[in-house]
Amino acid sequence: MADKPAEGELFGIPYNFEKPSISNLLSSYWQPGEGMLVEKPFGIGYTLNLANWRSWVVLAVAAGLYWHQQQSGNEDFDEAAEEAVEVVVD
């Protein structure tokens, strides 16, 4: 049985299943000369490059949306529990 490659590309999407080291992980997430997305140090696909300011904007927006969902989610649950719902099945 032939050995499968531990890293490469499949349909243009990078993959890497080599055992990651700490230095490899840190250098993968901080690449000042690259764009917003960089190849993941382990697994399939891309991840955010934390040396790019656009990545921090994406993280801030995601955190804001998550916070907003948590704040409004509790109120919606309380209102939904008080309202009766009628289901008609023919």
SS3 state of residue 8: strand
Counting residues of the chain whose pLDDT is more than 70, the rounded percentage is 88
Question: Could you tell me if residue 1 is inside a domain?
Answer: no
CA torsion 7→52→50→25, rounded to 10°? 30
Higher-pLDDT residue of 25, 73: 25
Question: Could you tell me if residue 87 is inside a domain?
Answer: no
Nearest to 59 by CA among 69, 51, 48, 68: 48
Predicted model pTM: 0.65
Domain hosting 35: range is 7-82
pLDDT, average across residues 13-42? 90
Question: Could you tell me if residue 2 is inside a domain?
Answer: no
Number of independent structural domains in the chain: 1
